[in-house]
A and B are shown apart, each in its own frame.
Chain A
Amino acid sequence: MDRGRFSSNSLGRRLLLQLLLVAAVLSALLYLAVRSVANQAAIAAHDNILGASATAIAEQLSASEGEVLIDIPYSAFSMLGAISEDRVFYRIDSDRTTITGYEDLPLPREVNARTAPQYYSSRFRDSDIRAVALERLITVDNLPVSVIIAVAQTRRGQDAITARVANTAAALGIGFFLVAGFMSWLATRSTVRPLHDVAGAIGRRGAHDLRDLKSPIPSELAPLVNSLNGFIARLRDALHRNETFMAEAAHHVRTPLATVRTQAEIALRQAETDESRKTLRSVIRAVDESSRSATQLLDHAMISYRSDQLARESFNYSELTADVIRGLIATAELKDLHIVSDIDTDLQYNGDKVLIECALHNMVDNAIKYSSDESRVDIRLNPVGGKIQFQVCDKGRGLGGSVQRDLTVRFKRGLNVSDVVGSGLGLTTVELVAQVHNGKFELVSRSGGGTCATLTL
């Protein structure tokens, strides 16, 4: 199942990958957006201070005795030092001639800064600079003189801010991706879970559980579960028909068999030759075998049917066991068997009484059937670790090398029992009863001959 979840066709993986892709794209967009917004803000803030510096110089411009007077205020440069430790350059041109500052400081290609400061980026003395140009008209001797003030600063401080912002933005992007990734994973898991739930519900079922799936499911899964339920229903019907058919068949066979047996017994009593007596005995024996098979088939069909709908009730296990033994005591006496029972009194159990009775009957019957004459059968019923254990031990021929798994298959019998009447259905029935009660059925050879059958419920 786990392999399926991550194979290339996994719905969950496809969903997760798509969600992660979306998260990655969003993270990248977030990173770029934060960076560009923050950088623009940083540039704008820096530009404003450059502009203020140039304006401070421009405010002090005046004219006197035929020349432009310039008096750079201390604050014009010290304010630039306040924002970052960047180098400061300036240049003041009057009538297209540099009158003070750095003559080679680049100006914008076209100075158009009469109304508003003109900001520009350039290179100066091997450094990137951000600069502002400001133009003022000063009247000297009744003639307007254009004065251009340029103030520039290297961009180390700004680069540092940019780098810091980039780091923050990257951390933000990665954080966003991780959170989104985790949430995608959770979302995928919860989306795919109903599928696993359905699969698990079917997987956990017993071999004979053919009920409809009734656990709550998301609407998208309803068609799948509906068709699955339809399929289960058809399967159930088919099985049911099958069992019913067998029960009918067994019933129909049993009645004429009884007639045949009675007639054969009468014929045996009246038989005169050993030859015919022998023939009739083998007829009776075959009829017995068939009749017993038919009975067990009926039992089995009954159990199969009941196991689908267990009729659980509380009953006295001890009494039930005693009843079963009492019912079979006559058969045992025929073989001069000594039945020793050790039954704890008043053990209560909650289960299908009919099924359990049938199982006990089969187990005791088996023990009697395979025991040697005049031997002893031990029957015990006692609680073991919260469960009740029913054990029948005989001194019979044992399992003869067969494995329990083989003996509990329908119509399969041990390799050493061809001389005893049997259908091969008895132990299968017990196994089935154990299964539907979540119990355990064990068949072990005893050392020194014989078999122990244990049913733990």
Chain B
Amino acid sequence: MRNFDSLIVWFISLLFISCFSSAFAFEKESEKIFRADNQREELRILSNTDLEYMEPIIKAFQQQNSSVSVLYTVASSRELYRAINNESADYDVVISSAMDLQMKLVNDGLAQQHDSDEVDKLPQWSRWGNSLFAFTQEPAVLLASRGGFGNLAMPQNRKELIELLRDNPEQFYGKVGTYDIRESGAGYLFATQDSRQSDAFWRLSEVIGSLSPRLYCCSSAMIKALRSGEILLAYNVVGSYASAVLDENEDGTIVSLTDYQIFMLRTALMPKTSRQPGLGGLFIDFLIDAGNRDLIDQQDGLPPINGDMFKKHQHYRPIALGPGLLVFLDKIKRKRFIEAWTEALLQP
């Protein structure tokens, strides 16, 4: 009798979950369908890249594959990870700038293998096995408002930046913005990789923390805040977004720090749950095809894969794809990092 009761409870809860599962589903930011005239297939893409950057790529892809409609869903990198990891959401391609979370999906066996000529042509550093493929390399940069600086010199490296902030607290108090790494996957990736590069990261965090910084969910929000004059400095902004938005003669400017500059690789993978691996593979091949790099560069403002750049500029540091990325996703490591970061950034 007890067994029967528990079975009923189990059934009811199952019913409940299936009815209201949408309530638990991951949070989408936006969604758009690019319908093909003679639609035969629908490619489902889940991405944390803003639609405006991907739209030219999708349209170019549809020019070559006129029977493919494309559903493009935008979600934050952590929601996107949750969608694939916890909910097995039905998507054919997953694009994200959070390399660590992408790596984790691959490592946990949630990505499919994809073999093609295009994959073979991809340089080794820009892919992991036959599962994770990078198609852009985007720097984390410092954004500054020229007007807000007055007659202060632009900092050239982190040491100068720390000195600048330490010496002019009244000018920058409440006027510095950065990622809230507790929310943003890309922000967490930038911060953790930053911490690996130099001790300056923690000193800089302490200084920023003393200036009551503003924390943002994403690069676009930081750029917006800078343009509106809400902040004078934004640290670790995705450079490609900034350069796409900011005009030459605008007040906001990108400062390239010369001690080191982290490059994040935007990667794509095919989830294991994809029901049309052929179609997903077609899109990934399109993304990584060397012939399409100019298209990505000029129309999207996303800098395509270019290994020569790292050879030319010694201070450009691409984040390596590999199991090392899993270290900061360890729950204890993450908890301790966020604790340390909170302690530094959110000073009472």
Contact = CB atoms under 8 A, between A and B. Distances in A.
B323 A78 contact: yes
Nearest to B107: A87
Given A87-B107, A100-B330, A71 B336 contact: yes
A78 B333 contact: no
A100 B329 CA distance: 10
A74 B324 contact: yes
Contacts of A89: 107
Contacts of B324: 74-75, 77-78, 81
Nearest to A70: B332
Contacts of B327: 72-74, 76-78
Contacts of A81: 320, 322-324
A88 B108 contact: no
Nearest to B124: A85
Interface in B107-156: 107-109, 128-129
Contacts of B333: 70-72, 100
A75 B106 CA distance: 19
A433 interface: no
A74 B196 contact: yes
A74 B323 CA distance: 9
Nearest to B331: A100
A101 B109 contact: no
Interface of B: 106-109, 128-129, 196, 320, 322-328, 330-333, 336
Residue among A71, A73, A85 facing the most chain B CB atoms (10 A cut-off): A85
B46 to A, nearest CB: 22
A70 B334 CA distance: 11
Interface of A: 70-78, 80-82, 85, 87-89, 99-101, 125-127, 156
Given A70-B333, A78-B327, A89-B107, 5 more contacts: A72-B332, A76-B327, A77-B325, A80-B323, A87-B107
Given A78-B320, A85-B129, A87-B106, A100 B332 contact: yes
B209 to A, nearest CB: 22
Contacts of A87: 106-109, 323
11 contacts: A72-B332, A73-B327, A74-B327, A74-B328, A75-B324, A77-B322, A81-B324, A88-B107, A99-B332, A100-B332, A125-B108
Contacts of B330: 72, 100-101
A35 B24 CA distance: 53
Contacts of A75: 324
B172 to A, nearest CB: 32
Contacts of A127: 109
Contacts of A80: 323
B102 to A, nearest CB: 13
Which of B109, B196, B331 is the most central at the interface, judged by chain A CB atoms within 10 Å of its CB? B109
A71 B195 CA distance: 14
Contacts of A88: 107, 323, 326
Nearest to B193: A74
A77 B109 contact: no
Q: Which 7 A-B residue pairings sit nearest by Cβ, starting from the closest?
A: A78-B324, A81-B322, A85-B129, A88-B323, A77-B323, A81-B323, A100-B332
A11 to B, nearest CB: 56
B298 to A, nearest CB: 32
A156 B107 CA distance: 13
Contacts of A76: 327
Contacts of B326: 77, 88
Nearest to B326: A77
Nearest to B324: A78
A74 B330 CA distance: 11
Contacts of B325: 77
A85 B128 contact: yes
A243 B327 CA distance: 110
Nearest to B332: A100
A76 B129 CA distance: 19
Contacts of A82: 322
Nearest to A100: B332
Nearest to A101: B330
A229 to B, nearest CB: 75
A81 to B, nearest CB: 3
B322 to A, nearest CB: 3
